[in-house]
């Protein structure tokens, strides 16, 4: 995606992980590792976004992504505007682009945007001022790049050699931006084997997720896996007649201790959250020592610090590109 990079190939916006170079992805992950111990108050050496104004503009609900972007920006010394979409002039018909252009006129620099509208972020990125960066905080069912980065950071902490891994993603893959960005990131880093598992109606359509094996039998899919990632069922992206019966779904696709017995001995169990306990995962598995659910949340702050720092650096590098 060309709008993502400036003329020198620096990360100008973060729209997708698809097609990102391995060195750029590695650089973001390495920087996130450095930020991981950051305290809640900005340290003098971490005031790297001093002078920047970051807007959190979430057109769909969020707990983790919204809160961690806000904390990441504050820990880097930025001014943060938590934009209340539901009480904004979008309810009077103003578009996302016009909302961004309005706030851009108030000298906001970095827009962290979540939207259900596929393709909207690339259009906004093409039309904003050169002094402005757009960061994808979740776009429809197509991408959630900072989730993909935090998932990779978590996986590598437990299994540093990604090329040796079998990773199984279970659940509502068809509607999941999390699965797409995780697969994009894992493929950039040369993952050993990628397996997608779910009922037919939740598996991706045939021309998507190239390079992944597909399973409808969860025991086959989990067998020997080093990473098992559950996904939230995306009710908001389904028709009511597409929703599975909860009991049947948990019986056939819920992650349980018994199912993990078939996985590799050092398996980790991931979920992006929010978890529907007893539907996607057995309730007690969320706190199991093999679960990384809370660790993923913690890593999200560090990853978002790395991304905000990177796009702000690019704006500063491009001569005259920062609001003064
Ligand atoms: N994983 C994730 O995106 O969570 P939120 O919807 O709470 O941000």
Give, for all 324 residues of the chain, the pLDDT tens digit. Answer: 578 999 999 999 999 999 999 999 999 999 999 999 877 766 777 899 999 999 999 999 999 999 999 999 999 999 999 999 999 999 999 999 999 999 999 999 999 999 999 999 999 999 999 999 999 999 999 999 999 999 999 999 999 999 999 999 999 999 999 999 999 999 999 999 999 999 999 999 888 999 999 999 999 999 999 999 999 998 777 777 777 888 999 999 999 999 999 999 999 999 999 999 999 999 999 999 999 999 999 999 999 999 999 999 999 987 567 775
Spatial separation of the C-alpha atoms in residues 202 and 213, rounded to whole Å: 14
Q: Report strand pairing: 110-115 vs 53-58.
A: parallel
Q: Which residue has the tokens 């757009």?
A: 134
3-state secondary structure of 200: helix
CB-based pocket (< 6 A), ligand 1: 62-65, 138, 147, 272-274
Look up residue 17 and give its two tokens: 């992980």
Across the strands, what pairs with 70?
none
Q: Which atom of ligand 1 is nearest to the CA of 61?
A: 6
Q: Tell me how far the alpha carbon of residue 242 lies from the centroid of ligand 1, in angstroms.
A: 22
Q: Tell me how far the alpha carbon of residue 209 lies from the centroid of ligand 1, in angstroms.
A: 22
| pLDDT in the model for residue 319 | 59
Tell me the best of 153, 172, 273, 304 to mutate to test the pocket of ligand 1, counting ligand atoms within 8 Å of each CB and taking the most: 273
| pLDDT in the model for residue 186 | 98
Q: Which atom of ligand 1 is nearest to the CA of 144?
A: 3
Q: Tell me how far the alpha carbon of residue 272 lies from the centroid of ligand 1, in angstroms.
A: 7
Spatial separation of the C-alpha atoms in residues 170 and 34, rounded to whole Å: 31
| pLDDT in the model for residue 248 | 94
| pLDDT in the model for residue 236 | 78
Write the DSSP symbol of residue 37.
T
Spatial separation of the C-alpha atoms in residues 76 and 149, rounded to whole Å: 19
Q: Name which of 296, 292, 285, 227 is nearest 255 in CA terms.
A: 285
Q: Name which of 30, 193, 15 is nearest 111 in CA terms.
A: 15
Q: Name which of 190, 192, 188 is nearest 22 in CA terms.
A: 188
Q: Does 206 sit behind a cis peptide bond, omega within 30 degrees of 0 on the bond before it?
A: no
Q: Tell me how far the alpha carbon of residue 295 lies from the centroid of ligand 1, in angstroms.
A: 14
Q: Write the residue with the smallest CA distance to atom 1 of ligand 1.
A: 272
């Amino acid at each position: 995606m060309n709008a993502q990079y400036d003329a020198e190939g620096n990360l100008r916006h973060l729209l997708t992980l698809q097609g990102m170079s391995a060195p750029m992805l590695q650089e973001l992950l390495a920087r996130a590792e450095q930020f991981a111990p950051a305290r809640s108050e900005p340290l003098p050496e971490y005031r790297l976004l001093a002078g920047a104004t970051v807007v959190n503009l979430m057109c769909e609900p969020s707990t983790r992504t919204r809160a961690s972007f806000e904390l990441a920006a504050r820990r880097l010394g930025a001014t943060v505007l938590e934009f209340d979409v539901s009480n904004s002039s979008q309810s009077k018909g103003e578009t996302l682009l016009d909302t961004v252009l309005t706030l851009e006129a108030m000298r906001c620099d970095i827009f962290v945007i979540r939207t259900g509208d596929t393709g909207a972020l690339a259009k906004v990125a093409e039309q904003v001022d050169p002094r402005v960066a757009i960061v994808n905080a979740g776009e429809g069912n197509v991408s959630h790049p900072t989730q993909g980065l935090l998932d990779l950071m978590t996986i590598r902490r437990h299994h540093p050699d990604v090329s040796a891994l079998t990773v199984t993603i279970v659940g509502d893959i068809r509607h999941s931006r999390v699965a797409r960005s995780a697969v994009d990131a894992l493929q950039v880093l040369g993952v050993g084997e990628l397996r997608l598992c779910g009922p037919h109606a939740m598996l991706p359509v045939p021309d998507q997720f190239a390079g992944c094996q597909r399973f409808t039998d969860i025991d086959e899919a989990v067998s020997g896996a080093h990473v098992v990632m559950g996904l939230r069922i995306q009710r908001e992206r389904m028709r009511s007649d597409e929703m599975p019966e909860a009991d049947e779904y948990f019986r056939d696709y819920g992650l349980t201790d018994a199912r993990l017995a078939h996985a590799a001995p050092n398996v980790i169990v991931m979920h992006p959250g929010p978890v529907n306990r007893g539907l996607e995962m057995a309730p007690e598995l969320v706190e199991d020592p093999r679960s990384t659910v809370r660790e993923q949340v913690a890593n999200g702050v560090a990853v978002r610090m790395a991304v905000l720092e990177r796009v702000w650096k690019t704006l500063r590098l491009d001569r005259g590109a920062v609001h003064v």
